[in-house]
């Protein structure tokens, strides 16, 4: 049992109310840590500390390359503690250990990528007329808030925090109450660097308390949020009242579109990995399968056989599929399964898997559902579990219409050997990312990530994310 603390203005502290929140290991259902139940008071102190640090001469004097070196220092600490961090992320979220390691490696890359970018964001000169020099510079936007979800805590924290600090901003992180362990470690690593006090702050607490106080705080200059559409709407509304820009990465109902001319073995494996990663608790999960009608039986037979080989069990034992986060999330998935029994055909899975010594943990067999209507909730809404819904199309136009038939547009996979067909679909599908004959591209540190429609707006990852954390200033100089 570890009693974690918040990190505010370079100091470790409990909440003023002295209340704590239990942190449970999804694999066992047992409490493994506590965090402070921070509220508006802690948020206010953290934001004010970040504001004071942002305007301080100490932080202003940090050159861009020096900010980059700080981020490289944190990357080095992540490398040194890779094994411990992978186990913490695995125990915290419930994802298989190999996926925990992959998340730590991605976090390292984010700090390295943005550390290297810190002194390479340039301005522009604009030709106006003789006797006038006009140029554009990018300045840091100020105090940035980062509300981190529970499913990929270290990755999502790293990708936004590293970009914000690289550009000279100060940061307040609110980690998810379910999965705060690696965020607390990153606070320790920042504390061990030469980063001035108040540049990085980490608060803990419930979303409706600490998260709401952070998103509505008048001293926040930019807010990054990853999570559900409902909560994202509330966050954006609160930020809008302060005229604050927001980067939202919300839900997805992402399709894998499989044509009969694909490499069937690669397509099967791609479809499987896209839905079982983190037990399907992924915004970019490939939760819909659109398969060419003439190819359906052949492909589904192979896919069902592959699903039936998947192992399900405790995360540290590195089974293919770990547990669902908690009972609340599991119950929500089971509500969808009850609907599936009424509206479709469950080809495999759909049931709870019980482990005698882990009665309080929630394990679920990977599931494939066929014969659904395109209007079904199972076709339209995020299930956030290892559940794949199957649909068929006759031609390319029908595949495009099906792919675009939800309110989301985050990721799409296309599986075909016909490059013309692939390019046609890519150009017609409303999706922030399109993968052709792959899905995910190894984490895609350098690739812009974000969605169309209700999947959010703005982009994270890659070079373009740096611009989230800057504001543009134009300067015009008249000379004779």
Helices (H), 264-409: 264-276, 296-307, 327-343, 377-380, 396-403
Any long-range contacts for 366-369 (C-beta under 8 Å, 24+ apart)?
Answer: 366/275, 366/276, 366/280, 366/307, 366/310, 366/312, 366/321, 367/307, 367/337, 367/340, 368/289, 368/300, 368/303, 368/304, 368/307, 369/340, 369/344, 369/345
Partners of 125 in the beta sheet?
135
Cβ contacts of 126 within 8 Å, gap of 6 or more: 134, 135, 136, 474
Distances (CA, A) of 447 to 159, 287, 298, 391: 12, 21, 34, 29
State how far the Cα of 348 lies from the Cα of 364, in Å rounded to an integer. Answer: 11
User: Residue 224 has which token pair?
Assistant: 């990054």
Parallel, antiparallel or unpaired: strands 222-226 and 143-147 = parallel
Q: Dump strand ranges (E) for 212-280.
A: 222-226, 246-249, 255-258
**Would residue 58 show up in a list of annotated catalytic residues for this protein?**
no
Exposure letters 335-366 (e unless 16+ CB within 10 A, then b):
ebbeebeebbebbbbbeeeebeebeebbbbbb
The residue from 112, 249, 382, 460 that is catalytic is: 249
CA atoms in the 13 A half-sphere facing the CB of 329: 23
Residues known to be catalytic: 249
């Amino acid at each position: 049992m570890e009693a974690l603390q918040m990190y505010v203005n370079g100091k470790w502290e409990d909440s003023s109310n002295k209340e704590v929140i239990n942190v449970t290991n999804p694999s066992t259902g047992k409490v493994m840590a506590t965090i402070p139940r921070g509220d508006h008071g802690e948020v206010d102190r953290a934001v004010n500390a970040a504001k004071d640090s942002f305007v301080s001469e100490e932080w202003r004097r940090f050159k861009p390359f020096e900010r980059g070196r700080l981020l490289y220092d944190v990357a080095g600490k992540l490398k040194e503690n890779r094994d411990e961090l992978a186990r913490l992320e695995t125990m915290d979220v419930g994802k298989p250990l190999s996926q925990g390691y992959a998340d730590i490696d991605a976090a390292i890359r984010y700090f390295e990528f943005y550390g290297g970018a810190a002194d390479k964001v340039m301005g522009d000169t604009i030709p106006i007329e003789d006797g006038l020099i006009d140029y554009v510079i990018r300045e840091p936007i100020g105090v940035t808030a980062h509300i981190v979800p529970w499913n990929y805590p270290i990755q999502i924290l790293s990708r936004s925090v590293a970009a914000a600090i690289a550009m000279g901003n100060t940061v307040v992180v609110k980690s998810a109450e379910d999965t705060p362990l690696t965020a607390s470690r990153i606070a320790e690593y920042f504390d061990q660097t030469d980063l001035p006090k108040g540049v990085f702050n980490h608060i803990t607490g419930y979303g409706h308390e600490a998260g709401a106080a952070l998103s509505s705080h008048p001293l926040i200059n930019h807010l990054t949020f990853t999570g559900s559409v409902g909560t994202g709407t509330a966050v954006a509304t609160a930020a809008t009242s302060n005229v604050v820009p927001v980067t939202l990465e919300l839900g997805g109902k992402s399709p894998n579109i499989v044509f009969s001319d694909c490499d069937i073995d690669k397509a099967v494996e791609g479809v499987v990995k896209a839905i079982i990663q983190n037990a399907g608790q992924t915004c970019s999960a490939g939760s819909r399968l659109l398969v060419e009608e003439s190819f359906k039986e052949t492909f589904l037979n192979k896919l069902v056989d592959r699903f039936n080989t998947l192992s399900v069990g405790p995360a540290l034992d590195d089974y293919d599929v770990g547990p669902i986060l908690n009972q609340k999330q599991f119950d929500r998935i089971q509500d969808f399964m009850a609907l599936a029994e009424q509206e479709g055909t469950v080809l495999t899975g759909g049931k709870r898997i019980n482990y005698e010594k882990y009665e309080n943990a929630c394990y679920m067999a990977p599931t494939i559902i066929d014969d659904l209507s395109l209007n079904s909730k199972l076709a339209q809404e995020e299930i956030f579990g290892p559940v794949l819904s199957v649909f068929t199309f006759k031609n390319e136009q029908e595949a495009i219409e099906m792919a675009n038939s939800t309110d989301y547009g985050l990721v799409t996979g296309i599986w075909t050997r016909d490059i013309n067909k692939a390019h046609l679909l890519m150009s017609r599908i409303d999706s922030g990312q399109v993968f052709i004959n792959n899905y995910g591209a190894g984490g895609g540190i350098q690739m812009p990530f974000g969605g169309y429609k209700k999947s959010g707006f703005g982009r994270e990852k890659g070079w373009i994310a740096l611009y989230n954390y800057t504001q543009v200033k134009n300067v015009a100089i008249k000379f004779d």
